[in-house]
Structure 1
Amino acid sequence: MRHLPLLAFSTLLFLIQPAAAQRPTDLWYFGRQAGLSFANGAPTPLLNGAMTTYEGCAVATTRRGELLFYTDGQTVWNRLHQPMPGGRHLMGSGSSTQSALIVPDPGSGNIFYVFTVAAQGAPDGLRYSVVDMTRANSLGDVPRANLLLLSPVAEKLAAVRHANGRDVWVLAHRWRSNAFVAYLVTAEGVQAAQPILSNVGSMNAGPGGNAIGALKFSPDGRQVGTALWRDNNKFEVYDFDRATGKVSNPRGFGPYQEAYGVEFSPDGSKLYGTCNGNSAGAISRAGASETQLIQIDLKTKKAETVGRSSNHKIGALQRGPDGKIYVAREDNSFLGVIENPNAAGPACGYVDDGLNLGGRRSKLGLPGFITEP
């Protein structure tokens, strides 16, 4: 009994300590050796990244948010910012919109799958590689790389938790087709032989550049947003069934020339998209910037421009752990920030020079993460 006061005191100390636990989406590495940490709430620049990538990238952490590794879909860097053994020749592309996506094995805390997509519908297609964190003195190794799932595919890649709360759906889009393809990742591994196909919506076809454009899940996992670059020039929204992996009910919005990035507001009521007009020139004949941030109200179907950038190109959109949405600006030392993304119209509060990267520069990509409804 004399130990109870000490136990109670220790418990009290634990409860009143400042929350220090990080989240799996708190660390970002992207662009030209740029990085951010959301561990303390407001994002702060990270200057230790080794990766330079033009577009897609992904970061893996422990459940507590501690860095494990990151990748551009071609090289895998460990937590010491060194290439992993076997991690140098993945068949993604630094010039693919969503080149890489990392999915932890649902049955193991040590195995991760790195999914990659090639650029512009190239034959390398959709593949995955295995990262084993028990190897190389717990710094990780890539014992199996570039296992082919499907070729060719567009530059779209996203993941969401299955309705069972354990497994993960990885969603891509077949090239020269209107088919979404969903692969289930379970404790038994990637179910490569049993993809779920949904032939719905626009064709992803034409010149290779038409494969450009992002794919994102809504926070509740019930909707999917896509950007279709040339020649479709539009954004689309679909319904998604987290139990079956099926995509349905397409709705299109446009035209928006060179549609590229997409992201949902935290409450799922808005879809945001970036477009660059004719990127051969950032200024239109009327003298106005053509780099636009579009907001689509998914209830009213109203679409409007809620921001413009002084930058020549803007790219990926990524919702942060703080509820704000961040906008990649090519070769810029600032990210754009949507301060209040649940708000309708200009009240969403887009700030072009919104977040200083501490001297590092963004390109067109920001890291993608699994959507956890």
Structure 2
Amino acid sequence: MIRLKFLVIAFILCCTTVAAQAQGEQKNWYFGKGAGITFTGDSAKAITNGRLFTEEGSASISDKNGNLLLYTNGITVWNRNHKVMPNGNGLLGGNSSTQSALILQKPGSDNIFYIFTTDIQAQSDGLRYSIVDMTKDNGNGDLVFKNTFMIAPATEKLTAVRHSNRRDWWVIAHRWNSNAYMAFLVSDKGVAIEPILSNAGTVHGGPNRKAIGYLKPSPDGTRLAAALWNDNSNFELLKFDRSTGKVSDPILFKGFSEAYGIAFSPDGSKLYGTTNNKNNGKGQIVQFDLRAGNPAAILKSGTVVATSGSPTLGALQLGPDGRIYVARRDNLHLGVIYNPNAKGKTVKYKDNGFKLAGRKSDLGLPNFAQDVK
């Protein structure tokens, strides 16, 4: 009996360690107008040592122990010492691209990282990737290849999900003037040239500004959600197959003004989106209950759970502390959803939930891949 008790304790400690290591890569955030956050356990602290200033997208990555490695706005790359990396200028992301950058560690490598970038509003630079070698510049990193072309035109949507083999990645984007989601396999052999194409959901096209809006995976990687920004815009929810890279079974949530940010709750039961109410000029957060039942029931569950004092809300990003942080344009605070697994207004939203130590939020928060152990 004693032996069994020790085995149970060891198992719990092992799981806790795995969870802590999985969160280490997302410990340090840089975004907005020189703003930043560092997470330790359940606490979050504002930091002001970043050099990044951007209107929308950014990406950062730390090692499994939470030590900062690099961060970028999709144009410039800074190292752990907040210095521009050698060859670290001139990436072809955009200062005003929703998900301008995403950083992935190459499978099977301790030192090679990919930076994927998206151009502004479906322009000609499209989706590209660059390569960082962390053994260069005395271990601080150097861009050894830049702006390798993948596909164009593409929307500003960019995310990644761990493959079902728990080793490789799927980098997921969306073709412009098309209903095709594109999943590129990233393995120890590199980045696949040809994507897996899935014609699913609505056509992302029309006026170029409709390329705006986030794409996010659920915590278990089996669902995707996208915000299709426009005056009269939509959210869409789809299934994702981590083995094949295929996207399917779309559900469309219609009739939201300026749908932009999107995030799943930690347990995957709720979907959140930011939108702006034309009648009162305030940003709002809408929640959908993904366990409500069939697609019609999920649609019917849509509820405004928070209204901001800000006219414009941007990104939603789940933190390592289990809270969802809300970007408020040109504001000294982030909004915070404290209990995102809860239903309706019991989520406990605070508009001035996180003070940025004198720095300001804009529309974006860091873009992270969804690891699934």
Normalising by structure 2, report the TM-score: 0.91
By how many angstroms is 1:86 displaced? 0.9
Preserved CA contact (<8 Å) 2:74 2:95:
yes
Aligned residues: 347
C-alpha offsets along residues 306-341 of structure 1, whole Å, 9 cap, x if unaligned? 001111211000000111100000111110000100
Partners of 1:230 and 1:360 in 2: CA distance = 29
Greater Rg over alpha carbons, structure: 1
What per-residue deviation string (whole Å, max 9, x for no partner) do you get for residues 13-54 of structure 1?
A: xx9xxx997711111010111000112421101110000011
Q: Is the 8 A contact 1:120 1:209 kept in 2?
A: yes
Looking at structure 2, the residues matched to 290 and 333 of structure 1 have their Cα atoms a distance apart, in angstroms, of 17
CA distance in 2, matches of 1:255, 1:307: 18
After TM superposition, what 4+ stretches of structure 1 lie above 6 angstroms from structure 2?
19-22
User: Where does the alignment leave 5 or more consecutive residues of structure 2 unmatched?
Assistant: 1-12, 293-297
RMSD: 1.4
Shift of residue 344 of structure 1?
0.6
Residue 77 (1) aligns with residue 78 (2): yes
Unaligned runs of 5+ in 1: 1-14, 279-283
Q: Name 1:176's counterpart in structure 2.
A: 177
User: What is the TM-score when the length of structure 1 is the normalising length?
Assistant: 0.91
Amino acid paired to 1:317? L
Correspondence 1:247 to 2:243: no
Q: Which residue of 1 aligns with 2:142?
A: 141
8 Å CA contact 2:282–2:309 kept in 1: the answer is no
Q: For 1:254 and 1:335, how far apart are their aligned partners in 2?
A: 27
8 Å CA contact retained: 1:178, 1:202:
yes
Cα separation, 2, equivalents of 1:180 and 1:40: 35
Q: Secondary structure of the equivalent of 1:197?
A: strand
Q: Do the aligned residues in 2 keep the contact of 1:289 with 1:310 (CA within 8 Å)?
A: no
**One-letter amino acid matched to 1:310:** G
Does the 8 Å contact 1:289/1:309 carry over to 2? no
Q: What corresponds to 1:5 in structure 2? A: none
CA distance in 1, matches of 2:237, 2:94: 26
1:296 paired residue among 288, 311, 332: 288
Per-residue Cα deviation, 1:248-289 (whole angstroms, up to 9, x for no partner) = 0000112111100000001101100001245xxxxx2xxx34
Percent of paired sites with the same residue: 52
**Bigger proportion of residues as helix:** 2
Distance 2:209 2:201 in 1: 19
Aligned to 2:6: none
1:200 paired to 2:192: no
Distance in structure 2 (CA, Å) of the matches to 1:187 and 1:61: 20
Deviation of 1:232 (Å): 5.6
Q: 2:282–2:310: 8 Å Cα contact kept in structure 1?
A: no
Q: Say which SS state the counterpart of residue 254 (structure 1) adopts.
A: strand
Which residue of 1 is the match for residue 87 of structure 2? 86
CA distance in 2, matches of 1:85, 1:229: 36
Deviates more, 1:34-43 or 1:341-350: 34-43
**Alignment pair present for 1:259 and 2:255:** no
